[in-house]
């Protein structure tokens, strides 16, 4: 099947400033693509380019197999949900939802039928005669989604739709968007700066920084095999531990030496077949460092470390220790006996380690 969205060598400039550089993305029908990155990385601009609200400077863009590079937004067969919801303030909820159909000249009976379907799907029937100003944030969000759903487009575009909601509602609506995606089997492009939203919703993630694609992959790929230091640091909370280390190859594998301010150098062995330069940055997620005895497997190695801080977080307890001049976080079970200022045996799962080049930040293994 043809990809539902195919972006090829897309460039976007504002005057002399390059906002987006050489973007190549392709998604299949039913995909949930999340564009994620820090603010100013160009993710919203890219979404506006897909919508046709911004002209692209160079490259091509196809939706549903048809070239849409220079087609106006209304003819792209898309629907968009905005961060501020952008509901028409003087129209009732029902009028907001049917406005697009009215503009396109859809007959009244079809309008009514579609409105009814969408209203019952989103459970907003009692709100249809209200004005947007009479709705709560969550209700406005639903209406904005209703306006998009009623169009039944090839592609849905979401521009940070949850960032105006409070934390609890955000989680609720996140679940609901995911449910909608599953029931409707819709193709979605979703912009967010929240990496948890990206991880939970996406079937495919694009990490952007400074208008350049850093990595494209499934959430698991992005999380387990980040392509560079930026992706490693950006995705995951608490962030991946990134520790400067020295690598030396010997018979059985690679010796990884991590200096410590207090105490002797920590030496770990990675038994995988690797060819690393001497200076590397070792990346290990907090959950891949456990209390000794709680983690088993081929790559697991134990070492005594000085505990600098203990942070109970309910389900887990985070323990911070100084390694290679960095605060390294380990994720321990809640009932740990770790105490600040005492030594503790930690188990490092070396089979999960990512290595990055110190100069370029690129992944090495």
Partner 1 sequence: MTDLSMPQTQTRTQSATGKIALRWLLYVLLGLFALYYLMPLFVMVTTSLKSLEEIRTGSLISLPREVSFDAWKTAWSGACTGIQCEGLRPYFWNSVLIAVPAVALSTLLGALNGYVVAQWRFKGANIIFSLMLFGCFIPFQVVLLPMARLLGMMGIAGTIPGLIFVHVIYGLGFTTLFFRNYYVTIPAELTKAARVDGAGFLRIFWSIFLPLSLPIIVVTVIWQFTQIWNDFLFGVSFSQAGTQPVTVALNNIVNSTTGVKEYNVDMAAAIIAGLPTLLVYVVAGKYFIRGLTAGSVKG
Enumerate binding residues for partner 1 (CB under 8 A).
48, 51, 53, 72-74, 78-80, 82-84, 86-90, 99-100, 103-104, 133, 147
**Smallest distance, partner 1 to C-beta of residue 205, A:** 24
Q: Give the nearer residue to partner 1 in terms of CB position, either 97 or 307.
A: 97
**Smallest distance, partner 1 to C-beta of residue 90, A:** 4
**Smallest distance, partner 1 to C-beta of residue 87, A:** 8
- Give me 322's structure tokens: 């100084």
32-36 and 188-192 beta bridge pairing: parallel
Site of tokens 């209390």: 291
Q: Give the nearer residue to partner 1 in terms of CB position, either 133 or 275.
A: 133
Q: Give the nearer residue to partner 1 in terms of CB position, either 102 or 342.
A: 102
Q: Give the nearer residue to partner 1 in terms of CB position, either 77 or 233.
A: 77
CA separation for the pair 169, 8 (Å, rounded): 36
In DSSP terms, which residues pair with 192 in a beta bridge?
Answer: 36
Provide the b/e sequence for 168-178 (b: ≥16 CB within 10 Å).
eebeebbebbe
Q: Give the nearer residue to partner 1 in terms of CB position, either 48 or 187.
A: 48
**Smallest distance, partner 1 to C-beta of residue 158, A:** 12
Cα dist from 347 to 34, 247, 300, whole Å: 34, 19, 6
**Smallest distance, partner 1 to C-beta of residue 55, A:** 13
**Smallest distance, partner 1 to C-beta of residue 62, A:** 18
**Smallest distance, partner 1 to C-beta of residue 110, A:** 15
Q: Give the nearer residue to partner 1 in terms of CB position, either 160 or 291.
A: 160
For residue 238, cis peptide bond before it (omega within 30 degrees of 0): yes
- Give me 230's structure tokens: 């930026």
**Smallest distance, partner 1 to C-beta of residue 73, A:** 5
Kindly tell me the sign of the dihedral angle through the C-alpha atoms of 166, 169, 175, 180: negative
Nearest Cα residue to 204 out of 180, 188, 224, 184: 188
- Non-local CB neighbours of 103 within 8 Å, separated by 6+ positions: none
CB 328 within 8 A of CB 289: yes
CB 142 within 8 A of CB 122: yes
Q: Give the nearer residue to partner 1 in terms of CB position, either 14 or 294.
A: 14
Q: Give the nearer residue to partner 1 in terms of CB position, either 80 or 189.
A: 80
CB 256 within 8 A of CB 282: yes
């Amino acid at each position: 099947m043809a990809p539902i969205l195919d972006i090829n060598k897309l460039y976007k400039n504002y005057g002399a400033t390059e906002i987006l550089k050489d973007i190549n993305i392709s998604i299949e029908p039913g995909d949930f693509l999340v564009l994620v990155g820090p603010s100013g990385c160009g993710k919203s601009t890219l979404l506006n380019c897909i919508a046709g609200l911004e002209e692209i400077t160079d490259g091509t863009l196809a939706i549903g197999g048809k070239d849409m590079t220079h087609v106006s937004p209304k003819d792209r067969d898309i629907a968009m949900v905005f961060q501020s919801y952008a509901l028409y303030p003087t129209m009732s909820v029902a009028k907001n939802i049917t406005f697009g159909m009215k503009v396109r000249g859809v007959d009244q009976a079809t309008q009514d039928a579609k409105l009814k379907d969408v209203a019952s799907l989103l459970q907003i029937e009692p709100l249809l005669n209200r004005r947007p100003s009479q709705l709560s944030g969550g209700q406005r969000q639903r209406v904005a989604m209703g306006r998009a759903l009623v169009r039944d487009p090839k592609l849905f575009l979401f521009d940070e739709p949850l960032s105006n909601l409070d934390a609890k509602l955000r989680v609720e609506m996140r679940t609901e968007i995911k449910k909608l995606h599953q029931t409707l089997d819709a193709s979605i492009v979703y912009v967010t700066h929240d990496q948890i939203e990206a991880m939970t919703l996406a079937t495919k993630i694009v990490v952007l920084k400074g208008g350049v694609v850093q990595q494209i992959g499934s959430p698991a790929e992005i999380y387990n095999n980040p392509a560079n230091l930026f992706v490693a640091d950006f995705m995951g909370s608490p962030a991946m531990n990134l520790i400067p280390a020295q690598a030396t190859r010997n018979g059985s594998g690679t010796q990884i030496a991590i200096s410590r301010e207090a105490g002797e150098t920590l030496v770990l062995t990675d038994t995988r077949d690797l060819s690393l330069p001497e200076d590397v940055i070792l990346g290990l997620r907090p959950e891949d460092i456990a209390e000794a005895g709680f983690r088993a497997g081929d790559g697991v190695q134990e070492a005594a470390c000085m505990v600098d801080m203990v942070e109970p977080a309910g389900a887990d307890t985070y323990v911070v220790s100084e390694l290679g001049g960095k605060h390294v976080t380990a994720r321990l079970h809640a009932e740990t006996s770790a105490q600040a200022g005492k030594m503790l045996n930690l188990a490092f799962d070396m089979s999960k380690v990512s290595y990055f080049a110190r100069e370029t930040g690129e992944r090495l293994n």
